[in-house]
Amino acid sequence: MINSSSDNVKKLNSINRRMFITGSFKFFIMVGIVSRLFFLQVKENKKYLTLSDKNRIREWKLAPVRGEFHDYFGNVIAGNFEAYQLHVIPEQVDDFRYVIYRIKDLLELSDKEFKKVLKKKNQIKPWETLIVSDNLSWQKFSKINNHLYDLNGVKPVISISRNYPFKENFTHLIGYVSQANQNDIETTESIKKNFVPGLKVGKVGLEKTFEKELIGTNDIERYEVNAYGRRISQLEFQKGKKGKTLRLTIDTEVQKLANDLLKEKAGSICVMDIYTGAIVAMHSSPSFDPNLFVFGISQDEWQLIRNDPMKPLVNKTLQGNYSPGSTIKPIVALSALENGIINTNFTVKCTGKTEMYGQTYHCWKKKGHGYVSLRNAMKQSCDTYFYEIARKLGVDKLSATAKKFGLGEKVFGDLFEIEKKGLIPNTQWKKNALGKGWLLGETIITGIGQGYIQTTPIQLCLMTAQIANGGHKIYPYLVVGDDKKDQPIDKYMPLYENSKNIKIVKDAMFGSTNEVMGTSYRSRIDDPKYQFAGKTGTAQVKKITEEERELELKTFEIPYEQRDHALYVAFGPYKNPRYALSIIVEHGGNGSTTAAPMAKKLFKLIIDRHKIRQSMDDKRYLEI
């Protein structure tokens, strides 16, 4: 009995212990569950609300609205339009094969277009956006929207894209935009920050230079989706900021005329205000339609542009290094006057050629000009005269004067990556670059703009402008508001030792255009309102043999690539000058017959539009 009672007690105690342990275990589990629930619902409330919202709420960044380019008179020369796009995110598509074939049918894609889409899909990550089309018609865009119920993961997008209404007229100046690539994103913070699939960014020209100012910021749209990721309702719309609109100094009418004058020719035309440095026109030819690049140029169109022998991809105004030919003669004359080498009475007898140290230097006029003074030598562009004053002057003094007037340096500084400096040689340059001493014969041919000397069309325009304004330094600019150096002319740094020397050169250029025997006399305008002064130039592209010289071939009889370049620089109106220009026509023959006649048409338009431009200036200063 005692043993039985003791066993029962032991069993009871064992049961009680087990119940206590089990109860304690349940208690601690309950405490743990309650604590976890408290932690999740109270302590981690914000975190899980955020995660919930991420599943329920989607954020969509839209392409920023790019700033526009306007010409001086407010005309849009690079603007925007609404482009209808179709995006697909493969990761959000349940049955990609089904969806992509439905899209093919709805958009009526050709087999070639369809293969291109599939190729792009294989090149991106599943969570990245596949742009099926970035320029849909409204009809097709509407059609896709009407079938969205059957197209999970498909997003019709209304985006902003670029438009260039004047097509090839501004291509080399403004440049163009195209889809941002990986390099654009990695190297430009503003692009990285505002990137969305299909974003268009500047690739060349001012579009690239002012990317940061133009790009703007994204619109952000937040909307609620259901469990399948389909949009239910819009919750918020955050408006982005449009990019800055830039107003240029360019006159579209003058720019269009420059384009027309160079039609089917390779070359450049620049027009500049001689007091402010404002660029009125700056055109390189041939050009191309920048709209071709906005949505991706086709291979056929690209090959046509790329393989064109006249090189439309080259901005000849800034990248073209040309021998200036006789357009350098005003600087040679000025340098000789400034250095006291000659005066207006100094004469040289031109017989058609000069013999020196066994080398013959020919004048363009085979029988010579006879005795010529500075004025007549400039008027008739006598090479012999300028051979002689260059010889007496020396290349180092000539180089110093040329550089003062803007030759051999970038005109726009860092504005364009592609701009060339040209080359104004001197004795030290040759020693450093070629390891050889300078020769007298090299000085002689430099005096007529041949040899090592190289200039860009925009430099020749600046040179002419600074002669025209009386020899004062100006700073060319293209964007209104960027003219911080736009000061009264008497505050500009003088580039001369004696102002009378500038007047002598200007008068000689007047004779070259407006007097009988002047090389551009046939292009003169008698009306003082439009009258201009200038200097022709003909730059050889190859050495002329004695046999070729004897043949006296006409320009059209010479193979195109062997013809001389035709140049012309001028300023007008002569009595109260305001504008300077430079013209170059590659392989155009000679400046007097090819380039100078273009100046006649340009000055008529430029001067007629001066009052309109002046009224815009007055309005601008009143606003300030």
What does the pLDDT average to over 342-365? Answer: 92
User: What integer is the mean pLDDT of 534-538?
Assistant: 96
pLDDT at 573: 97
CB atoms within 10 A of CB 258: 27
Q: Among the listed ranges 269-283, 418-432, 539-553, which one has the minimum average pLDDT value?
A: 539-553
pTM, two decimals, is 0.84
pLDDT digits (tens, 9 = 90+) for 318-330: 999 999 999 999 9
Q: What average pLDDT does range 289-305 have in this prediction?
A: 91
Reply yes or no on whether the pLDDT at 409 is more than 60.
yes
- Residue ranges of alpha helices (H) inside 57-204 are 96-107, 111-123, 138-146, 171-174, 182-187, 189-194
Q: Report pLDDT for 54.
A: 53
Q: What is the pLDDT of residue 238?
A: 81
Question: Is a pLDDT exceeding 70 seen at residue 12?
Answer: no
pLDDT, average across residues 443-448:
97
CA angle, 97 as apex, 96 and 102 as ends, to 5°?
A: 95
- Summary mean pLDDT of the chain: 87
| Residue-level pLDDT at 486 | 47
Averaged over 524-543, what is the pLDDT?
Answer: 91
For residue 55, pLDDT beyond 70: no
Contact by Cβ (8 Å): 474, 274: yes
Share of the chain above pLDDT 90, in %: 61
**What is the rounded distance in angstroms from the CA atom of residue 356 to the CA atom of residue 342?**
20
Mean pLDDT confidence for 397-419: 96
Structure tokens at 377: 């030598």
Architecture, CATH, for domain 252-623? 3-Layer(aba) Sandwich (3.40)
Residue 282's closest CA among 323, 244, 320?
320
Quote the CA–CA distance of 150 and 224 in Å, as a whole number: 19
Tell me which of 90-94, 199-203, 268-272, 280-284 is least confident.
Answer: 90-94
pLDDT score at 619: 66
Task: Compute the CA torsion angle 301, 303, 308, 309 (nearest 10 deg).
Answer: 180
Domain 59-247 falls in which CATH fold?
Penicillin-binding protein 2a (Domain 2) (3.90.1310)
Model confidence band, residue 237 (pLDDT cutoffs 50, 70, 90)? confident
pLDDT band at residue 83 using 50, 70 and 90 as cut-offs: confident
Q: Which amino acid is at 334?
A: L
**The pLDDT of residue 120:** 81
Q: How far apart, in whole angstroms, are the C-alpha atoms of residue 443 and residue 207?
A: 42
pLDDT band at 224 (very low <50, low <70, confident <90, very high): confident
Q: What is the percentage of the chain residues whose pLDDT exceeds 70? A: 85
Q: Among 28-42, 381-395, 529-543, whose mean pLDDT is lowest?
A: 28-42
Residue 232 Rama label (left phi>0; alpha psi -120 to 50; beta): alpha
Supply the DSSP string of 184-243, one letter for each residue: HHHH-HHHHHH--TT-EEE-SHHHHHTHHHHS---EEEEEEE-TTS-EEEEEEEE---PP
What are the residue boundaries of the structural domains of the chain, listed by start?
2-43, 59-247, 252-623
Q: What is the largest CA-CA distance in the chain?
A: 159
> How far is it, in rounded angstroms, from Cα 370 to Cα 203?
55
CA distance 342 to 386: 11
Q: CA–CA separation, 406 vs 493, rounded Å?
A: 13
Res 141: pLDDT: 87
Give the mean model confidence (pLDDT) for residues 587-605.
95
Q: State the pLDDT at residue 545.
A: 60
* 486-497 pLDDT, tens digit each: 444 555 678 988
pLDDT reported for residue 340? 96
Rank 172-181, 186-195, 506-515 by mean pLDDT and report only the highest.
506-515
Report how far residue 478's alpha carbon sits from residue 174's, in angstroms, rounded to the nearest whole number: 10
